[in-house]
Amino acid sequence: MESLGHYLLRGRIALPGGGATEVYEGQDIRTGIEVLAFKPLLEEPPKLSIPHTLSWIDREEDAWIAEIPVGAVQTSWLAGRVEVARLVQWVKQLLGVLKQAQENDIPVGYIIPELVWARGSRVWLGGVGVANPEQKWDFAGLLNTVRVIAGDSYPALPWREALENYVTGQLDYAALIEQLEAAALVLPPVSVATPALPIPTEPAPEPIPAKPVASKSLKVQVTEPTVPLPTTTPPRRIRIEDRLEPPFEVLEPPPASRRTLILWLLIIPLMLLAGGIGLWLRSRAPSTGQTAVYPVEFRLQPPGPSASVVILEIPEGSKMPLNVEVAQLPGKVEFDQPGIYRIRVRVQGRAPVESLIEVPNPGGVTISLR
C-alpha cells in the first residue's frame, strides 16, 4: 500500500484514455473515513457547491482528496441489480451535476461507474473539477455509466432513446428531464431493501404410488388380533378417621436466646445505614432525564495557535448549531448525540480544515494544520 500524508492509498481506479491523472481509493488513518485521491494536480481544488458531488476536503502534496459518504458503495458493484425507478432517480441527479458544472464552467472530465457512489436513492459523482484533455464534460462517459448500471434492462428502458439523443446533442436538458419524470410516474415505488438474489424453488414432492389392485378372483381376509381387555377390580373403600389428638409429638419453637436478640439489634441499624447510603448515592447520580454529553478532546498539530471549530453536518437527533463557532481549540468540545459530525477548523493565517469525526471518540482527534 502507498501512503500520502495521513492517507493510506489502497487500490487504483483505471481512468479511460490513458491520461496522466491517477485515482486511488484510500482511507484517512486519523478518522477512518473513506476517500478518493486524484493526482498529480498542482493547482488548488475548486470549492464545489453542486449537490451530489464528492466534496474536496484536502490537498496533500500534488493530490486532491475527496471524501466518500459513510455507507456509500461504488455503483459498479450494483450493475444489473438496480430497480428502474431507483435508476431514474440516479440519472436525474447525475444530469443535474453536469448541468450545473456547465453553468459554472467547472470541468467534469471523467464519468465512470467506479467514480459514482450510491447510498439508497442518492448518488455522488467524484472528480468534479478534474480536467480531461480529450473533453471538458464527459457526456459519453455518463451514457456508458448508465448502460453498465442498468445491465440487461438497458435496451428496454423507456427513456433510453431520449438519453442517447441528449448525449449526441439532439435533445435538450429540459425535454430529457420531462421524459424521466413521466417514466417515474408509471413505475412502482422504490423498495427500501437491497436487490435480493433469486430463491431456488423447492422440488415438487414425488407422487405417492397407487395401491395395487387386487385380482377379482382372489379374496384376502385379514383378521385383526383381538386384544383382551384388562379385567378391572372394584375400587377399595378407604376409611379416614379423624382423631382428636395428633399421632405425633408437637414440638414448640424454643424461646429466642439473648444472643439472637443482640444479633438482630446489630443487623437492623446496618441495614438502615446501607439504605440511607443508597438513597444518598441515588440522589447524587444524574437523572435519566438529563441530556447526555459526549466530550471529545481536540489537539492541533503543530501546537501553538488557537483555532475555532464550526459544525457543518450533524447526525440525526442532534441539536448542535450549524455554521456557528462552538468552541476554541485545543481543548474539549461537548456533543449532544453520538454519530458522525462534519466540522471545519479555522486558524487565522492558515487554510481551514474540514474533517469527519465520530462521537464518542475516547482517543481524541488531532487536527493537522496546513
pLDDT 10s digits, 89-121: 999 999 999 999 999 999 999 999 999 999 999
Reported as a pLDDT band with limits 50, 70 and 90, residue 232 is low
Return the pLDDT at 222.
40
Query: For residues 113 and 73, is the Cβ–Cβ distance under 8 A?
Result: no
Top-confidence residue, 255 or 67: 67
pLDDT per position as a tens digit, 280-295: 887 665 555 556 889 9
C-alpha cell at 312: 457543518
Least confident of 128-137, 223-232, 316-325: 223-232
Query: How far is the C-alpha of 124 from the C-alpha of 51, rounded, in Å?
Result: 8
Q: CA-based angle 156:162:164, to the nearest 5?
A: 85
Give CA separation, 48 vs 34, 158, 217, 228, 318, in Å: 19, 33, 97, 96, 26
Whether the CA torsion 216, 220, 221, 222 is positive or negative: it is negative
Mean pLDDT over all residues of the chain?
A: 82
Coil, helix or strand for 262?
helix
pLDDT of residue 185: 87
Rounded to whole angstroms, the Cα distance separating 117 from 53 reads 9
Q: Which helix (H) or strand (E) holds 60?
A: strand 56-60
Counting other chains too, the contacts that 148-155 makes at CB distance below 8 Å and 24 or more residues apart are 148/75, 148/76, 148/79, 148/113, 149/75, 149/78, 149/79, 149/80, 149/82, 149/87, 149/90, 149/113, 149/116, 150/80, 150/82, 150/84, 150/87, 151/79, 151/80, 151/81, 151/82, 152/80, 153/80, 153/84
pLDDT of 216 higher than 90 = no
Rounded mean pLDDT, 286-312: 78
Pairing state of beta strands 365-368 and 294-301? parallel
CATH of 73-185, one of 3.30.980, 1.10.150, 1.10.510, 3.40.50: 1.10.510
More confident residue, 299 or 368: 299
Average pLDDT over residues 226-245: 53
**What are 28's strand-pairing partners?**
7
- Quick one: pLDDT at residue 316? 87
Q: Is pLDDT of 230 > 60?
A: no
pLDDT of residue 213: 43
Specify the pLDDT at position 210. 47
Strand partners, 354: 344
CATH topology for 294-368? Immunoglobulin-like (2.60.40)
E-assigned strands of the chain?
2-4, 7-13, 22-28, 34-39, 56-60, 63-67, 73-74, 116-119, 122-125, 294-301, 307-313, 325-329, 331-335, 339-346, 353-359, 365-368
pLDDT of residue 364: 86
The contacts of residue 270 (CB under 8 Å, 6+ apart) are none
Please give the pLDDT value at position 362. 84
Q: Which three cell numbers stand for residue 249?
A: 409429638
Burial of 36 (0-12, 13-18, 19+ CB in 10 A): buried
Residue range 150-204, pLDDT digits in tens: 999 999 999 999 999 999 999 999 999 999 999 888 877 665 544 433 434 444 4
Cα distance from N-terminal residue to C-terminal residue, the chain: 24
Beta strands in 283-362 (DSSP E): 294-301, 307-313, 325-329, 331-335, 339-346, 353-359
Q: How far is C-alpha 56 from the geometric centre of its chain's CA atoms? A: 22
The type of residue at 64 is W
Residues in contact with 80: Cβ distance below 8 Å, sequence separation at least 6, in sequence order: 149, 150, 151, 152, 153
- What DSSP character marks residue 295? E
Distance in angstroms (rounded) separating the CA atoms of residues 6 and 79? 33
Name which of 204, 63, 213 is nearest 127 in CA terms: 63
Express each pLDDT in 67-88 by its tens digit. 999 999 999 999 999 999 999 9
In sequence order, what are the beta bridge partners of 313? 342
